[in-house]
Amino acid sequence: MDFLRKILDHIGFLNVNEATKIHLSERNSNLIEFDYLCAMSVAVVILNYNGRKFLSDFLPIVLSTTQDATIYVADNGSTDDSLALLAADFPSVSVLSWAENLGYAGGYNFALGQIQADYFVLMNSDIAPRKNWLQPLVAYFEANPSVAAAQPFLLDYHKPEYFEYAGAAGGFWDSYGYPFCRGRLFDTIEKNEGQYATSMVNWATGACLMVRTEVFHLVGGLDAYLFAHMEEIDLCWRMQRAGYSIAAVAESEVLHVGGGTLNKENPFKTYLNFRNNLILLYKNVEPSLRFKTIFIRMILDGIAGIKFLTEGKLSSFLAILKAHYGFYHYLFFEPKASPVQKNWIKSYSGNILVDYFLRGKKKFNQIKF
């Protein structure tokens, strides 16, 4: 396979329809099939898991609004007829597929390991890009070599005049790791009235995330142990620790449905969010502050659990207990990679919970950094 890759690299690039099929043997003797294409400037990669409806609805929009990029669908072990749809209706799209659901992080790591490009765009299957969305992102990267990741402004598919929950106009975290965004604090979503410009942020949304390939690989890609949720925050945190910057680009806009994989009330989503947030703190908070930060955060998690109980949400309460157990398992039993990142990055030094629920600060511009 290495010999074949060298030949393809020498050629420069291939048309999608001329892509060479390579079959690799994977765990449990499953075959992993993918189209290997040579280096393109930008690769837009849509990770799919049982998302036939989203592919049918949104892939035509991606194709019509995206120029100067190769579009891939990476099928993460789907059991629906996503692959049949792609073969029948989207023959120009390069397809990568494997038999097992590796999660968002593991699936993207595997897929991006097979693709060569200067930039990757990790795109959810429920994204509808607006016309000329990609060019401002590429131009921003080219003009700012210290930027490792960036997002377009994320707008609500059903209410396009509003920002969308999953990333809005770029994100930050507070002193206890709670993420929030320009344009979205907890459940308060702002209307997009031009109040936010292109700017450096602390994290960019995984719903539509453009990354500099070299830096993505330098920091070890996404953390597959996280499986899904908050893995993009961890990636952006590690990129900043390696000396790079993160941005949100106002000139680029995409619409996002949101909740396509797991809805907000799903206990598994609650489990992943609470567990992964603790893991992020352990990995990225300065050692002298780590114990205190995690201890206070776990107390706050307990308060959230009690709130769930008072609301009759027993499954969410149990998800938090399971998340803490999962964090202890990670802490004591999982191997820890030696990071290349040396810098300790801080974001908002306050407590967004206190600001929002006690001080009544419902919009980002009311927060004083």
Among residues 236, 187, 152, the alpha carbon closest in space to that of 352 is found at: 187
Q: What is 2-256's CATH superfamily?
A: Spore Coat Polysaccharide Biosynthesis Protein SpsA; Chain A (3.90.550.10)
Is residue 36 over pLDDT 50? no
Residue 43 contacts residue 119 (beta carbons within 8 Å):
yes
Q: Sign of the CA dihedral 73, 79, 84, 89?
A: negative
Residue 137's CB is within 10 A of a number of other CB atoms, namely 22
Average of per-residue pLDDT across 136-162 = 97
Give the 3-state secondary structure percentages of the chain, helix then strand then coil, rounded to 5: 40, 25, 35
Tokens 């907000």 found at:
264
Q: Can you tell me whether residue 10 is helix, strand or coil?
A: helix
Per-residue model confidence as pLDDT tens digits over 192-241: 999 999 999 999 999 999 999 999 999 999 999 999 999 999 999 999 99
Q: Which amino acid is at 13?
A: F
pTM: 0.87
Residue closest to 153 by CA, chosen among 125, 211, 108, 193: 193
pLDDT at 25 over 70: no
Q: What is the dihedral of CA 163, 164, 169, 175, to 10 degrees?
A: 120
H/E stretch holding 238: helix 231-241
- φ, ψ (nearest 5 deg) of residue 76: -95, 55
Query: Does position 265 have pLDDT exceeding 90, yes or no?
Result: no
pLDDT higher than threshold 50 for residue 283: yes
Q: Which residues pair with 76 in a beta bridge?
A: 98
Intervals of CATH 3.90.550.10 along the chain: 2-256
User: What confidence tens digit (pLDDT) does each residue in 290-344 have?
Assistant: 999 999 999 999 999 999 999 999 999 999 999 999 999 999 998 876 666 678 8
Tell me how far apart the alpha carbons of residues 45 and 125 are, in angstroms, rounded to a whole number: 9
CA distance 326 to 331: 9
- Count of CB atoms situated within 10 Å of the CB of 290: 14
